[in-house]
């Protein structure tokens, strides 16, 4: 399957308008945001676990990133509540499930093969840092060379300068309304902006966004990297 697989294209999706698609595991469904491959695929999805549902043990050859939006997610390493970020590195394996049910934002096969660090961050108890402009606070989650993942909180009325994204940018709006000169994006919106894209973001009402940058550079054709 190829769904929004051209990483040189800007994509905006309101997940509220997407259908839920059954996974191979009973009680686990997905909303597909991007996908390049079959059941083993480079993919970005929302994943919903019914209470008591579980995947069988499997290996993530190119890693996995998870952000728990609601409920409690579990695997052999522990129980992870809302606001938990997990990075399972390339070659890791687990048998994920949920006793009570949960909703996750999940990215598969997006990590650098050399990134071997497992990361778990409970964002509800981790300090936030002042951002580059007043009204902006940042909680770094993961970093490897050009790739950065963070939560960014925008106070109402916060504006940021126009800037260019080397290696692209990907945003999932966790709450509130994120905005730029191209539109307004309510909670549940996923935005992928390609390598060297430019925008001037702001938020009138405030928002929290999950942001990943610098990971789209090596996956675009060489002629597009310096366009």
How much is the pLDDT for 40? 79
- Any alpha helices (H) in the chain, and if so which ranges? 222-225
> Which residues are bridge partners to 202 per DSSP?
159, 179
In the chain the domains, ranked by start, together with CATH numbers, are: 18-121 (2.60.120.10), 127-213 (2.60.120.10)
Rounded to the nearest 5 degrees, what angle is found at the Cα of 143, between the Cα atoms of 225 and 11?
A: 45
Instruction: Give dist(CA 30, CA 19) in Å, integer.
Output: 8
Rounded to the nearest 5 degrees, what angle is found at the Cα of 4, between the Cα atoms of 221 and 75?
A: 105
How much is the pLDDT for 224? 39
Q: What is the pLDDT of residues 30-75, one digit of tens each?
A: 999 999 988 778 899 999 999 999 999 888 888 999 999 999 999 9
CA dist list (Å): 97 to 52, 76, 94, 106, 120? 7, 9, 10, 14, 17
pLDDT < 50 regions, the chain: 220-227
Burial 73-98 (b: 16+ CB within 10 A, else e): bbbeeeebebbbbbbbbbeeebebbb
Taking alpha carbons only, the member of 169, 179, 137, 139 closest to residue 154 is 137
């Amino acid at each position: 399957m190829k769904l929004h697989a051209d990483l040189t294209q800007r994509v905006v999706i309101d997940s509220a308008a997407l259908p839920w698609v059954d996974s191979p595991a009973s009680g686990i469904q997905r909303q597909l945001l991007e996908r390049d491959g079959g059941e083993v695929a480079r993919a970005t999805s929302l994943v919903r676990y019914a209470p008591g549902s579980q995947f069988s043990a499997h290996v993530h050859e190119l890693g996995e990133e998870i952000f728990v939006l609601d409920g409690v997610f579990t695997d052999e390493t522990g129980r992870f509540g809302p606001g938990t970020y997990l990075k399972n590195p390339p070659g890791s394996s687990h048998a994920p499930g949920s006793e009570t049910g949960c909703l996750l934002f999940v990215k598969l096969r997006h990590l650098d093969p050399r990134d071997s660090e497992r990361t778990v961050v409970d964002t509800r108890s981790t300090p936030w840092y002042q951002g580059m402009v007043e009204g902006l606070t940042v909680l770094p989650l993961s970093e490897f060379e050009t790739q950065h993942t963070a939560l960014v909180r925008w106070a109402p009325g916060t504006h940021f300068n126009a800037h260019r994204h080397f290696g692209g940018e990907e945003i999932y709006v966790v709450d509130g309304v994120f905005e730029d000169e191209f539109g307004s994006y309510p909670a549940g919106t996923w935005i992928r902006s390609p390598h060297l894209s430019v925008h001037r973001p702001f938020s009138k009402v405030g928002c929290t966004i999950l942001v990943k940058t610098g990971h789209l550079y090596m996956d675009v054709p060489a002629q597009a990297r310096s366009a």
